[in-house]
Amino acid sequence: MRCLIISLFVVVSFTSCSSLTIVDETTKTIEQNTIINPYFSDPNYDYVYETSIEAYGNHFSGILIVKKIGETKHRAVFTSIFGGTLFDFEFDNEKFIVHHVVKQMDKKIIINLLKKDFRALIQEKNITFINYKKVNERIFKTKQGKRYNYYFYNDSDKKLQRIQQTSKRKEKFIIDFQNIENQIAENISLRHQGIKLKMEFKLLKK
């Protein structure tokens, strides 16, 4: 774990600061809208995903559990395959509560990273300020703290396919939603672009 933290620091510190183009800026319109990420929006559904994490050559498996517990509130719990809770977070727009985290993961850098990752993954209602139009695609830009999220919707079926998070200058991570049925994504991947961290989520069907 210590090696991981040092590696994270090194990578974060030395990643180059190139300018960033996610979408063709000539297609943009300035417009405020509320867009929906529907994949964790049913308060009556327990979202349970088998999770596989690859971090710096290490592999780890667990279970991700997400539940909508209020109009804007979600709980996200991650357990080991054996059932023990590794972290238990609550998200409510900008509010964030750590209900539990095991000591090995109780480091600011790790919690901040997970907070940003899971907020982007879960947050249902998002206010956009720039919209883009591409062939077969609509893209919406939102702000998350000091970072930006780009929401990619497919034009044909209007489904949310991808969320990409960036800082002003750097790409941070990409979330892809696949095999979508009844507003539930059976497969989700979250790939970091600056650090060697990848998470894959597979829906555990009831």
Partner 1 sequence: MKKIIPFVLLLLTAFILNAQETKLSADEVIIFKEKISKAAKENKTISNSFEQIKHIDFLSNDIISKGALFFKAPNMIKWSYTDPYLYSVIFKEKRLYINDSGKKSDINLASNKTFKKLNDLIVKSVNGDMLLDGEQFIVSYTQTKSIYKTNLIPKDKKLKEMFDTVQLEFDKKSMLVVNVKFIEASGDYTLIRFTNKFVNKPIADEVFNN
Binding site for partner 1 (CB under 8 A): 44-46, 48, 50, 52, 58-61, 63, 65, 67, 69, 75, 77, 79-86, 88, 99-100, 102-104, 204-206
Which CB, 90 or 137, lies closer to partner 1? 90
Rounded Cα gap, residues 86 and 79, in angstroms: 5
Which CB, 58 or 112, lies closer to partner 1? 58
SS3 41: coil
Which CB, 103 or 158, lies closer to partner 1? 103
Minimal distance in Å, beta carbon 199 to partner 1? 14
Minimal distance in Å, beta carbon 122 to partner 1? 14
Element (H, E) at 7: helix 2-14
Minimal distance in Å, beta carbon 195 to partner 1? 20
Minimal distance in Å, beta carbon 77 to partner 1? 6
Which CB, 22 or 204, lies closer to partner 1? 204
Element (H, E) at 119: helix 108-122
Per-residue tokens: 28: 């943009």
Residue corresponding to tokens 């883009």? 132
β-partners of residue 73 are: 92
Specify the pairing of strand 137-144 against strand 125-134.
Answer: antiparallel
Q: How far apart are the first and last CA of the chain?
A: 34
